[in-house]
Structure 1
Amino acid sequence: MGSCKDEDRNEINCLFVHGPIIIGAGPSGLAVAACLQENGVPSLILERSDCIASLWQQKTYDRLKLHLPKQFCQLPFLNFPKNFPKYPTKHQFVSYMESYAKHFSIEPKFKQSVLGAEFDNLTGFWMVKTQDFQYFSRWLIVATGENAEPVIPEIHGIEKFQGPVMHTSVYKSGSEFQKQRVLVVGCGNSGMEVSLDLCRYNASPHMVVRNSVHILPREMFGVSTFSVAMALLKWLPLGLVDKFLLMVANFTLGNTDRLGLRRPKTGPIELKNATGKSPVLDVGALSQIKAGKIKVVEGVKEITKNGAKFMDGQEREFDSIILATGYKSNVPSWLKGENGLYAVGFTRRGLLGTSSDAVKIARDVADQWSMINKIFPDIDTKLLK
């Protein structure tokens, strides 16, 4: 470690990283660090939080489980424990992440918020600046994922509402909302699961459905729907697989249009591939909708002091509002450049895509690493003197 000066000529701590810098200690960051290690390449993870998998640990609700079977969610070179259920809980997934980091001796530098990352054409190094360090490396791997920041929609009048308004990133349990009338904005997997959780605590959730949505059973014929789809796609065209999934869904779940949950015209897999919008895998919310315990409401026109006005002209009172409106990436706010830049976990294919990305990136970096170290074994040290 040495010292250097920033743009304002202030002395700051400088650190050269002999392998790639990885930004983010979630599943994507851990996976690529492990894959690099398996290829003999060291790396350093920078994490803005104080723990690994911070999204899972700090911004998810208590009853969350993986939506896909564990074999589709495990990271390279280390499977889930055999005693874990088919759909591990949030706490089991976090324990797996912690075991994964320990197994590969991955030690991120925590509380390192990236303020800027820029490639220097003169030296051929990436310069990554945090609040108290400037890091240098030939490679930069962005592993912050597509879910770094909560999406907070602009809803007319929401500042007038007198009750609590929260995003699902801070929602933990329906126990805080017992016997309340709760407006849940959003009908994706989070909106459905939060509404179901509220029902279990005798709250009265009203779920806002602003767009069309595909709802599929989590399992078909005792097998996960995802597994069925992946198997069929090996033999059949995507369009036929979509038709089969919808046929089974309509048979097992019924016509969701009658419940105010209109299906998109594009099939579920085709839509996922084109837009990244995942179908909702039903874990019980649909039965509560059919029973009238979860009310489906149209788009919100305006939030009032005590409730909301809807597009169909209705007006209702609510005690709380929960925004199940998803997340977005924060990468454009601090990243500049392309040279030696990689991204993992941005392919809209979940943890399965993360593992695939990590393996490919590690191989590519390892090839460069090997070539550079054979030709110039100490060039990095010389360049920084």
Structure 2
Amino acid sequence: MAAVRRVAVIGAGASGLPSTKTCVEEGLDTVCLERADEVGGLWRFTKKVVEGRSCVMKSTVMNTSKEMSCFSDFPPPKDFPNFMQHDVAQKYFRAYADHFDLDRHIRYNTEVTKVRQADDYVRTGRWVVESIDHKSGKKSTDTFDAVLVCSGHHAEKNLPEVPGISEFEGPVIHSHDYRPDSEHDDKKILVVGLGNSAGDLAVELSRKGKQVFLSTRKGTWIFHCYMFRGMPWDMCLNTRFEFWKNSCLPFSWVEAKMAATLNQTIDHDLYGLTPACMPFSHSPFVNDELGGRIICGAVKVKDDLQRLTTSGVEFKDGSFEDIDVVLMATGYTIGFPFMEKEVVDIEKNQLKFYKQMFQPDLQHQTLAFIGCVQPSGCIWPICELQARLAVSVFKGAVKLPPRDDMWKEIEANESMRSSRYPNTIRHTLEIDWLPTMDELAEMIGCKPNIGRLVLTDPKLALRVLFGPCLPYQYRLEGPGRWSGARDAVLSFMDRVRFPLQSRALPPNRRSGLVKTAEWVLFPSFSWVVFLELLVLALLLLVLCRG
């Protein structure tokens, strides 16, 4: 295989931007091909519907917090809200591109139409990329030593077959094509599905529609943006200590405990939401408003569809409702229309890739897919680590296992997913967030060494072990080390607090919590306090007996 010098990055969104930046900082000649006229990908809302290009809804707010979602060497501004609206997320991407001067490597308005192995691939591992410039209409063919596919996995609308759908006289719209307008005012609306998009749609439409019916086959567990003492949910759950503690306990007990925690806010049985699976065997559904819309009657949770009629819907429980509009929030199927089937063969919406990135059967590992995962946390930091790993493989700094070993791991992961998650297209890419981050970091050589930190920097070690697993942790050491990582880890609470404290409280009106209370704001930090008290109690006991 020839040395990798020139790389194509397909897409300039959450996976394409860190991929471009990683290639550039490693000294590679990088060309990023972006179909739109701006960075952001999925997160760039457009009023116009563009077929084949998905985007968030106008009301979309991120369901992961800014500190757990950012790239590892670019902390979010302190004045950004902890949960960013789509336009704020877009500002973050634009600031990232400006800071690292990425625009000079991006060809905007350029759609990739085909990626194929070069004629000399067997000898060189090179790829041919065909594209079209939508402004000039010019078609181009370029050869690259390696390719990073960062176009996302939301390729084609998933439209399930519903009996009677052709007879229904009202509009049937996929969430991809939905834009807020007056056409839905005072209408009876059926929303099909119960993923994050369905929840957002139901809440938004319930404010102007006459009635919203939310049809679900399996139900869901509702997480709120905030958990313990108002801290972001992902900061509370995604800590190394929490993961270690939970791995030492029976998984069924851990899930039952989380179900009890979620039921303290909403009784999922009472609201008709309880799914067959437990909270950690299901994609996180984060929504702060759906429960309120249900309890006031604006949204009614209904069973799975039986059939549609000319003017209504019959559900599998036998009930019937008159409706005016059907909105299908049924997700997407995976696809890469520009790739040859011999290279990427998608079966049952599954991608059989090593680390969800590499096709094991390729003779040369000069092609990688970034962001083809559905994590229990934000996908952005995972995309960045995947990009760092892919570039390390391209440059020969990391060697992948033999083909048979890669297939064994793929099959083991498929077996785990099939036993833990529901058999739906939504769960074919499910992964655990923190273990995946650590696996990728270990291969790169940038996983934090907690044992060494305990000896050399105890304060930082405590934050890394008991605090949220912030992306900055993966810049503390190893390849790609960033001098600002330590400060970013230690100062994260300043950026969490700032947007919340828009009103200063008089000293006599405080609840009694002092600033150091951040050590008990998170469950893991509470364990630190408990262990300290336990040690003190044992010392007192020894002294008293002595």
TM over 0.5: yes
Q: What is the TM-score of this pair, normalised by structure 2?
A: 0.59
Match of 1:114 among 109, 112, 119: 112
Using the alignment, how far apart are the partners of 2:39 and 2:141 within structure 1? Answer: 21
Q: Which residue identity lines up with residue 116 of structure 1 in the other structure?
A: K
The separation in 1 between residues aligned to 2:338 and 2:221, in whole angstroms, is 32
Relative distance call for 1:203 and 1:46 in structure 2 (3 A) is farther
Determine which structure has more spread, i.e. the larger CA radius of gyration.
2
* Residue number in structure 2 paired with 1:224: 232
Instruction: Name the structure 2 match of 1:72.
Output: 68
Q: How is 1:1-385 mapped onto 2 (pairs within 5 angstroms)?
A: 18-57=5-44, 58=46, 59-107=55-103, 108-120=106-118, 121-122=121-122, 124=124, 125-131=126-132, 132-173=139-180, 175-221=182-228, 222-231=230-239, 232-237=242-247, 239=251, 240-254=253-267, 256-265=268-277, 267-269=278-280, 271-272=281-282, 278-331=283-336, 334-335=339-340, 336-337=342-343, 338=362, 339=364, 340-349=366-375, 350-367=379-396
The structural deviation recorded for 1:175 is 4.9
Residue-by-residue CA offset, 1:94-125 (whole Å, 9 max, x unaligned): 12112222222223223333332122335521
Aligned to 1:373: none
1:259 partner SS: coil
SS across alignment from 2:76? coil
Map Cα deviations across residues 44-67 of structure 1 (whole Å, 9 max, x no partner).
112233332232223221111110
The Cα shift of 1:195 comes to: 0.7
RMSD (Å) for aligned C-alpha atoms:
2.3
Mapped to 1, the partners of 2:82 and 2:164 lie a distance apart of 43
TM-score between both structures, scaled by the size of structure 1:
0.82
Distance 1:321 1:292, change over 3 A: same
Residue correspondences, number: 345
* Bigger helix fraction: 2
User: In 1, are the aligned partners of 2:371 and 2:383 still within 8 Å (CA)?
Assistant: yes
Q: Is the 8 A contact 2:68 2:234 kept in 1?
A: no
Q: Secondary structure at the match of 1:169?
A: helix
Displacement of 1:136 in angstroms is 0.8
The range that moved more, 191-200 or 229-238, is 229-238
1:213-265 residue CA offsets vs partner (Å, 9 max, x unmatched): 222233212122222211211432272543332121112222x1232212233
Letter in 1 for 2:279: P
Q: What is the SS of the residue equivalent to 1:219?
A: coil
Q: What displacement does 1:38 show? A: 2.1
- Shift of residue 191, structure 1, vs aligned partner: 0.9
Aligned to 1:252, the other structure's residue is in SS state coil
Query: 3-state DSSP class of the match of 1:355?
Result: helix
Query: For the Cα contact (< 8 Å) 1:114–1:334, is it kept in 2?
Result: no
User: Larger % of strand: which?
Assistant: 1
Query: Displacement, 1:280?
Result: 1.1
Give a deviation string over 1:293-342, Cα, whole Å, max 9, x none. Answer: 20111111222222222222222221111111112332266245433111
Instruction: Please give the per-residue CA displacement for 1:269-293, whole angstroms capped at 9, x wherever unaligned.
Output: 3x25xxxxx1211311012212322
Q: Distance in 1 between matches of 2:93 and 2:168?
A: 39
* Unaligned segments of structure 2, at least 5 residues: 47-54, 133-138, 344-361, 399-546
Letter in 2 for 1:129: E
